[in-house]
Structure 1
Amino acid sequence: MRKFTVICIAAFVFISLTGSMNAQIVIDRPVMETVNVCASEIFNSYKVEFGITPSDFNANNQFIIELSDASGSFATPTTIYTSKEGEFTEEDVVLYFSVPKTIGGVAYKIRVKSTSPAVFSQNSRAFSAYFKIHDEPFTINNFISTAVYCAGGSYVLTIDESGPDNNSPLDYPGLTYNWYREITLTTSDFISTGETLTVNEPGTYFVETNYGSCTSRSLSKSTRVTVSEATTATVSSINSSLGNPFCLGDGSTTLSTTAGDTYQWFKDGTPISGATNQTHVTNESGVYSVNINFGGCSASATIDLNSNEFTSSIDVDTSEPNIVEAGESLIATVITTANSPEYEWYLNGSIISGATNNSFEATEEGNYKAVVTQTVGCISSSEFIFEITEAIDPFPDVANIPNLISPNNDGVNDTWVIPKEYISGTNTEIMILTPQGEIVFQTNDYQNNWPEDLDFKEINPVYYYIIMPQDQKIKKGTITIIK
Structure 2
Amino acid sequence: MDRKFYPNAIHAIMLLVLFFSAQIASAQTLSQPVLGFSNPCPSEGFNSFTVDFAWQIPLVNEDNKFILELSDANGSFDNATTLSTVTDKNTVLTFSFKFAFPEATYGEKYRIRVRSTSPAKTSSASGSFPAYYRTVNESLVLNNFQDATLCSDPILLEVNNYPGEAYYNWYKDFNLIPGEKNAYLEVTEPGLYFVEVDYGFYCSSETSSNLVSVTQNDQLSVTISGDANVELCPNGSYTLTASTDITPDENFTYHWYRGETLLSSTASNSYTVTDRNGDAAGEYFVEVDPGSGCPALSSSVVLSINDFEVTTNLATDIVLMPSQSKTIQATTTASNPVYQWYKDDVAIADATTATLSINGPGSYYVEVKESAGCGIAKKSTPITVSYPSDFEIKIAVGDYTACTSSQAALSLSELKALTNDGTVIAVDESIVEQFSFQWYLNGTAVSGATTRQITVNNTAANGNYTLKGTLESFNSTSNAIAIKIGIGTPAITADLMKICEDVDQVTISSSITATSYTYSWYRDNILLDETSATLKTLKSGTYQLKVKNNDCEVASNTVTIEPYTDDQITLNKEGVIYLQKGQAQEVIASGADTYVWYDNAQQVVGTTASLLISTEGVYTLVASIGGCEFVKVIEAVLQESTIIPNVISPNGDGINDTWAIPVTYLNNPEIQINIYTSSGELVFSGANYQNNWPESTINYSGRNPVYYYRIIKNGATIKKGTITIIK
Compute the TM-score of the two structures, normalised by the length of structure 2. Answer: 0.28
TM-score, normalised by the number of residues in structure 1: 0.40
Q: Which structure: larger Rg?
A: 2
Q: More strand per residue: 1 or 2?
A: 2
